[in-house]
Amino acid sequence: MQLAENRAPDGFDDVTAIISRAELEEIAASYKRMAGSDKETLNTRASLSVG
């Protein structure tokens, strides 16, 4: 949100006009890595299933 505010302080109609799709994907991937829910982490950890 801060990036959007910095780039378009007067607002915008389409977020991809101010933040590229690639930037949005990298931001999402970064949050997934921080949360431990990225594909690599999920595929290498022990299963959480009960059984």
Q: What is the largest CA-CA distance in the chain?
A: 54
Does some domain include residue 49? no
What was the pLDDT predicted at 39? 87
Q: Which domain holds residue 17?
A: 2-38
pLDDT in tens, 2-51: 999 999 999 999 999 999 999 999 999 998 988 888 888 888 888 877 76
Residue 19 lies in a domain: yes
Integer Cα distance of 31 and 45 in angstroms: 18
- Residue 14 domain-assigned? yes
Residue 47 domain-assigned (yes or no):
no
Q: pTM of this prediction? A: 0.66
Q: Does 23 map to a domain?
A: yes
Give the number of domains in the chain: 1
18 within some domain: yes
User: Is the residue at 50 inside a domain?
Assistant: no
On whether residue 15 sits in a domain, the answer given is yes
pLDDT for 18 equals 96
